[in-house]
């Protein structure tokens, strides 16, 4: 495991609510398993990534990064409304990638400023 921490911002500033940064495996490093990691953030956007145990980081490999921060949470028979542009809310749509090399010493840092949903 390689420790990973970071900070995400919304148009250069704080978030209106807490949210989650998701690291979804695209390709594990040779000889490593494929497991996702998450980082929960408060309004300041700071997070530490957890895969199995709190703060343990990510397994080496390539990840796609997505963020969820709900203005209106999804519920029965209704979609949610995100503060973020749709391109960043789903790993399938997000073009953001993060690489963790085998043997890397941490903590590695992921920082990104996200656009607000228009």
Q: Kindly report, residue by residue over 67-96, the tens digit of the pLDDT.
A: 999 999 888 888 888 999 888 888 878 889
**Pick from 27-31, 58-62, 83-87, 90-94: least confident:** 90-94
Strands of 31-101 (E only): list them.
37-41, 46-48, 61-68, 70-72, 81-82, 97-100
What is the chain's mean pLDDT, rounded? Answer: 93
Q: Closest Cα to residue 61, out of 23, 93, 96? A: 23
**What pLDDT was estimated at residue 65?**
96
The tokens for 15 are: 């978030």
> What size, in residues, is the chain?
118
pTM confidence score: 0.92
**What pLDDT was estimated at residue 85?**
85
């Amino acid at each position: 495991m390689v420790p990973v921490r970071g900070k995400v911002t919304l148009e250069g500033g704080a978030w209106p609510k807490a949210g989650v940064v998701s690291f979804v495996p695209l390709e594990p490093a040779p000889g490593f398993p494929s497991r996702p990691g998450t980082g929960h953030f408060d309004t300041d956007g700071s997070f530490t990534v957890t895969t199995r145990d709190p703060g343990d980081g990510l397994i080496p490999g390539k990840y796609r990064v997505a963020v969820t921060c709900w203005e209106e949470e999804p519920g029965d028979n209704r979609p949610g409304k995100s503060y973020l542009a749709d391109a960043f809310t789903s790993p399938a749509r997000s073009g953001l990638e993060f690489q963790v090399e085998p043997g890397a010493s941490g903590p590695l840092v992921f920082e990104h400023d996200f656009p607000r949903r228009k």
